[in-house]
Copies of this chain bind each other. A is one copy, B any other.
Amino acid sequence: MTSPATFQRDKLELPFLKDVWYVAGWMSEFEGPGPFARTIADEPLVLYRKKDKTISALADRCAHRWAPLSRGRTEGDDIRCMYHGVRFRSDGTCAEVPGQSQAAPTLRVRSYSVVERHQLVWVWLGDPARADLHSIPDLSMLDQPSRRIYQGSLDYAAHYSLICDNLLDLSHIGFLHEKTAGQPVVELTDVPAGSCYMPGGSEAKLIDRGVRAESWISGPTARSVALPKRTPDGDLWTRTDFLVPGIFISVDRMYPSGTANRCGRLAPAPELESLSDTMSIQAVTPISKRESRYFYSFGPRASEVDVSEGAAMWRIVLATFAEDVKMIEAQQKVIDQHPGDQMGGIAADRGFTLYRNLMKRLSSEEAAAARDSASIDQ
Chain A interface residues (CB < 8 Å from chain B) = 1, 4, 6, 9, 42, 44, 60-61, 63-68, 71, 80-86, 96-100, 104, 106-108, 165, 169, 171-172, 174-176, 178, 192-196, 200, 202, 326-327, 330-331, 333-335, 337-338, 343-348
The reply to whether B44 and A337 form a contact with Cβ atoms under 8 Å apart is: yes
12 A–B pairs (Cβ distance < 8 Å), ordered by A: A44-B334, A63-B343, A64-B346, A67-B334, A71-B330, A82-B176, A83-B175, A84-B176, A85-B172, A98-B175, A99-B346, A106-B344
Which residue of B is nearest A324, CB measured? B83
Cβ–Cβ < 8 Å partners of A65 in chain B: 165, 331, 343
Secondary structure of the A contact surface, majority rule: loop
Q: How many Å lie between the Cα of A196 and that of B84 in the bound state? A: 11
**Smallest distance from the beta carbon of A145 to chain B beta carbons, Å?**
38
Q: How far is the CA of A257 from the CA of B304 in the complex (A)?
A: 80
Measured CB to CB, the nearest residue on chain B to A107 is B344
Knowing A100-B347, A171-B99 are in contact, say whether A331-B200 is a contact too (CB < 8 A): no
> What is the bound-complex CA distance between A317 and B187, given in angstroms?
53
Cβ contact within 8 Å between B344 and A63: yes
Please pick, from B42, B82, B169, B330, the residue contacting A84 in the complex, using a CB distance under 8 A: B169
A343-B60 in contact given A176-B82, A193-B96, A195-B99 (Cβ < 8 Å):
no
Copies in the complex: 3
Task: Tell me which residues across on chain B come within 8 A of A345, comparing CB atoms.
Answer: 64, 104, 106
Given contacts A82-B175, A194-B85, A348-B84, contact A330 B67 (CB under 8 A): yes
A68 touches B330 (CB 8 A): yes
Q: Report how far A85 CA is from B194 CA in the complex, Å.
A: 7
Task: Tell whether, in the assembled complex, residue A176 and residue B83 are in contact, meaning their CB atoms are under 8 Å apart.
Answer: yes
Give CA–CA (A44, B334) in the complex, Å: 8
Report the bound CA distance from A288 to B255 in whole Å: 56
- Residues of chain B contacted by A83 (CB below 8 angstroms): 172, 175-176, 327, 331
CB of B99 within 8 A of CB of A200, answer yes
B331 touches A99 (CB 8 A): no
| A2 CB → nearest B CB, Å | 11
Q: Which residues of B contact A60 (CB under 8 A)?
A: 334
Residues in B neighbouring A165, C-beta threshold 8 A: 65
Q: Please give the distance in Å from A193's CB to the nearest CB on chain B.
A: 4
Cα distance, A176 to B80, chains bound together (Å): 11
Residues of B within 8 A of A326 (CB): 71
Instruction: Give the 9 A-B residue pairs with the shortest CB-CB distance, closest first.
Output: A98-B194, A99-B194, A98-B193, A85-B175, A107-B344, A63-B344, A66-B334, A61-B334, A67-B331
CB contact under 8 A between A171 and B98, given known A71-B327, A106-B6? yes
Given A84-B171, A85-B172, A98-B192, 14 other A-B contacts at CB below 8 A?
A42-B337, A61-B334, A61-B338, A65-B165, A67-B334, A68-B331, A84-B172, A84-B194, A84-B346, A85-B194, A99-B346, A99-B347, A100-B347, A108-B344
